[in-house]
A and B are shown apart, each in its own frame.
Chain A
Amino acid sequence: MKARVHVMLKDGVLDPQGEAVRHALGALGFDGVEGVRQGKVIELELADIDAETAKAQVGEMCEKLLANTVIESYQVEIG
């Protein structure tokens, strides 16, 4: 079973990397990019368990290690 975790900076937390990407896109001639936020995707290969248990376990992994909830939010996709 696969789980995919999306980690993003929370709204209101400055993302200097996203801003740099936005500037670079503008320099390449892509007009109208009004904002860029950069996050990360973490894929986990899990032993087969039911989806609800998996979701709860991955949520705990996010709270303990995969995300820093002071500045980051996360979403978990199972399957």
Chain B
Amino acid sequence: MHAAVIVFPGSNCDRDMAVAFEQAGAKVSMIWHKDAELPSDVDVVGIPGGFSFGDYLRCGAIAANSPICRSVISHAERGGFVLGICNGFQVLTETGLLPGVLLRNAKLKYICKNVELKVENTDNVFTSAYEAGQSITVPIAHHDGNYFADAETLAKLNGEGRVAFRYSENPNGAIEDIAGILSPNKRVLGMMPHPERMADPVHGATDGAGLFSGLVGQLTNA
């Protein structure tokens, strides 16, 4: 199973994401944003957290228009898997691969703390290692994580089982406590919390490791 982690200027969770994929058994390639092509045998693309291009214009907006993102969009349109965490989620909404947008946190503060998430749906490769309704604790670290979408989009997300995670206690004003969502084919996941920062015993707990082990396990068997 081959994972490609995209590196933008300002990415700062790229190596954490790579280590989480490796520990789950994946082969990992780091891909610079100016590269136009993904490795031909790539199974999943990871878009890491950080502050790509200094969050200039809007979070994720410049990254979403970088050369490699055109390949990531093609990969997703071919039915490829994509995982966007934190800034990666912002990039995915800016590309249009996921609906909605991440607004400034309702109380305007950057928030860095552990939060409890509820796993909403497990019928996808990303949350297959968890039980539906299971609570996990992972960190958030963001200034713009306040998910917003119009009523029609929310109805679709709920109706199609595309909300992957909700916050148990809403930290940032996100509409309907949404912490992570899936694409219509459930092969693209964007989430604000950082499972890769809770994936090794040295992190204090391993609640986030299941996302990577589940994903690698499902794609290796496929």
Interface positions of A (Cβ within 8 A of B): 13-14, 16-17, 20, 64-66, 68, 70-71
Which residue of chain B lies nearest to A40 when distances are taken between CB atoms in the complex?
Answer: B57
Contact B104 A13 (CB under 8 A): no
What number of residue pairs across chains A and B have CB atoms under 8 A from each other? Answer: 35
- Give the residue of B61, B99, B103 whose beta carbon is less than 8 angstroms from that of A13: B103
**B130 beta carbon closer than 8 Å to chain A:** no
Besides A64-B65, A70-B149, 18 new A-B residue pairs in contact (Cβ under 8 A), listed by A number? A14-B103, A14-B106, A14-B148, A14-B173, A16-B105, A16-B106, A16-B107, A16-B108, A16-B146, A16-B173, A65-B65, A68-B58, A68-B61, A68-B94, A68-B101, A70-B93, A70-B150, A71-B101
Residues in B with CB closer than 8 Å to A13 are: 103, 148
Nearest-neighbour CB distance to chain B for A67, whole angstroms, equals: 9
- List residues of chain B with CB under 8 Å of any chain A CB: 57-58, 61, 65, 93-94, 99-101, 103-108, 146, 148-150, 173
Given known A-B contacts A13-B148, A70-B100, A71-B148, A65 and B105 have beta carbons under 8 A apart: no
Q: Which residues of B contact A65 (CB under 8 A)?
A: 57, 61, 65
Of all chain A residues, the one with the shortest Cβ separation from B106 is A16
CA distance in complex: A68, B101 (Å): 9
Expressed in whole angstroms, the Cα–Cα distance for A14 and B148 within the complex equals 9
